[in-house]
Structure 1
Amino acid sequence: MKLWSLMGNSQRLDGGAMFGNAPKAVWQRWIPADAGNGIPLACRCLLAQGVDGKTVLFETGIGAFFEPKLRERYGVVEERHVLLDALAAAGFNDADIDVVVLSHLHFDHAGGLLAAWQEGESPRLLFPNAKFVVGARHWQRALDPHPRDRASFIAELPQLLIDSGRLELVDGTHSQALGQAVRFEFSDGHTPGLMLAEIVAAHGGVVFCADLIPGRPWVHLPITMGYDRYPELLIDEKQRFLDDKLARGVRLFFTHDSACAMASVARDDKGRYAAVDEVARLDAWPLAA
């Protein structure tokens, strides 16, 4: 297998929202804020070639589907669809993708499924040959969001996925599309049914951490986001998750860390977790099945 870290459209969001109840005096040591309290965030995707013989894209980032007013509101930096450019730079296009795996359907993780906004045009699904793999429980959340996170979903997206005829809902540890090559586990602290995908390998695989652990600062156990539905539950889930990945030598892949794509997890003699062996970018990075 070969892995690529692909940047999608980036954002600048309020640092206080991204670090929940952690004070600015603490989190600004990790990510300095601008004058408006904004911090840089990636929407990084993971491309894997040779997963059960397939080319798989883990998430699509925020994309460029927002109209200009909403693009500004949500801090999206670039107007063009950056993920498509990143795919092309790696030698691929959206038609080459066999499977798209989505941890959840919040717009900053699934918006890249859609073509870039054009005035007067309806939303249009990209990736014409891909199966779309989504957690079954989170799918129900997307169909009937809570008022607290309704704005995080793209209203038109569920019907577009249904109409594609290529949607697979997963409620166990494996999917039909990827067999034993990818193992799934689920988390409820950020959003109900968040699906965490691990590419299985003989000597430690790679897991897409999604919004359970958006980047290196959030490896620290008490650090959560203001966007998380159940922060205390998330902390408990994160501890079990990190203990498991540390025991099995599974690397962490970060979607929102602007400077680090992948790292291993370590734990010191006081029980504190940290990201180590950091990798800024993956470019046809080899992973032995």
Structure 2
Amino acid sequence: MNRSLSTLTGRSRKLDGGAVFGSMPRRAWVEWMSPDYDNQVEMASRALLVQQEGLNILVMAGTDALLAPPPRTCRCQPQAQGLLDSLARHGLGEGQIHAVVLTHLHAVLPHDVEEAVREGNAPRLLFPVARYLTGRRHWLRARHPHPRDRALFVPQIVRQLESSGRLRLLDETSCDLLDGWRFHVSDGYTPGQLLPEIDMPGGPIVFAGDLVPAVHWLRLDLTTAFDRNPECLIDEKERLLDHLVANGGRLFLPRDPGVAMIKVMRDRQSRYQPFDHHADLHRLDS
């Protein structure tokens, strides 16, 4: 099967460094990511474009970039570059996306989008002809969120997905719409997160979602304050990384500011180490 993979870059987001690095002492993680005056670190919002059998498929970690950017109120405002701009650089418009695979439905919205939602002017969902694919168990969590992560679900997004008529809920580890794909299920960050694994000649590529958001999270003991079950997450991370090591696979990182894809090895101290770094992908072909 002919298949090509490319990175798409959305608007970066800033998160509290203490929340991002969980119980890791600040003196350790400031060497990895420099916080600003408000102790926030910048994380990427990177999506994966998969083109196969005449289909254009997006894989996204959460729904941060799923809402259309609000119009500028005046021309003097700078236009922030986002997912649609990155898509246009590949010669595609939003109407040419056939499917959007959502690992989960959490969202940390850009400030202007959040303000529009708060004022009752929630923008429309992007990709007007695409099917939206996400896990059934996670969808139940989004419909009836637990207080632990209720703030990470945007009700306006959930309602628009439900009313779109194009929502497809996945139960199994594969999907008949996506030939050559499998899914790993992760419950440690949020119940029912689905991590796609895509067959490629050089070994499978796994979209890491928020299980391994960036290179530093190859450390098994490193978790975030957002994880609902850190011990479960660590076990899931170890199983996934061992699977990649055994199969010569690669890991796609949606949140790392500088690295899009890596291979993983295990050193003599049984620590996972990245190698063969890619900052960007442009039509990685099968």
Fold shared, TM-score > 0.5 on shorter chain: yes
The equivalent of 2:241 in structure 1 is 242
Cα deviation per residue 1:44-74 (whole Å; 9 max; x = unaligned)?
Answer: 1001111x44211001762385999xxxxxx
The equivalent of 1:217 in structure 2 is 216
Q: Which amino acid aligns with 1:35?
A: Y
- Percent identity between matched residues is 43
- SS across alignment from 1:56: strand
The equivalent of 2:104 in structure 1 is 104
Flag the 1:164–1:115 CA change in 2: closer, same or farther, 3 A. farther
8 Å Cα contact 1:102/1:134 also seen in 2: yes
41, 44, 51: which one aligns with 1:42: 44
The equivalent of 1:63 in structure 2 is 65
Cα deviation per residue 1:219-270 (whole Å; 9 max; x = unaligned)?
Answer: 1111111110011110011001100011111110011101000001111001
8 Å Cα contact 1:58/1:102 also seen in 2: yes
Unpaired runs of 5+ in structure 2? 71-77
Between the aligned partners of 2:189 and 2:141, the Cα distance in structure 1 is 12
Q: How does 1:70-89 map to 2 (within 5 A)?
A: 80=80, 82-89=82-89
Q: Which amino acid aligns with 1:208?
A: F
Between the aligned partners of 1:36 and 1:255, the Cα distance in structure 2 is 23
Equivalenced residue count is 273
**Displacement, 1:131?**
0.9
Mean Cα displacement is larger for which, 119-128 or 218-227?
119-128
Flag the 1:81–1:133 CA change in 2: closer, same or farther, 3 A. farther
The equivalent of 1:72 in structure 2 is none
Between the aligned partners of 1:158 and 1:62, the Cα distance in structure 2 is 12
The equivalent of 2:27 in structure 1 is 25
Tell me how large the CA RMSD over aligned residues is.
Answer: 2.5
Q: Which amino acid aligns with 1:102?
A: L
Flag the 1:122–1:26 CA change in 2: closer, same or farther, 3 A. closer
How does the TM-score come out when normalised to structure 1?
Answer: 0.87
The equivalent of 1:174 in structure 2 is 174
**Displacement, 1:79?**
6.4
Flag the 1:103–1:120 CA change in 2: closer, same or farther, 3 A. closer
Unpaired runs of 5+ in structure 1? 69-77
Between the aligned partners of 1:229 and 1:167, the Cα distance in structure 2 is 25
8 Å Cα contact 1:266/1:275 also seen in 2: yes
Verify: 1:199 aligned to 2:198, yes or no: yes
Q: Which amino acid aligns with 1:33?
A: P
Between the aligned partners of 2:262 and 2:43, the Cα distance in structure 1 is 17
Q: Which amino acid aligns with 1:154?
A: V
Between the aligned partners of 1:120 and 1:40, the Cα distance in structure 2 is 28
Verify: 1:285 aligned to 2:279, yes or no: no
**Displacement, 1:115?**
12
Q: Which amino acid aligns with 2:140?
A: Q
Between the aligned partners of 1:184 and 1:55, the Cα distance in structure 2 is 18
Flag the 1:203–1:147 CA change in 2: closer, same or farther, 3 A. same
Between the aligned partners of 2:152 and 2:68, the Cα distance in structure 1 is 12
Q: Which amino acid aligns with 1:232?
A: E
How does the TM-score come out when normalised to structure 2?
Answer: 0.88
8 Å Cα contact 2:12/2:42 also seen in 1: yes
Verify: 1:9 aligned to 2:8, yes or no: no
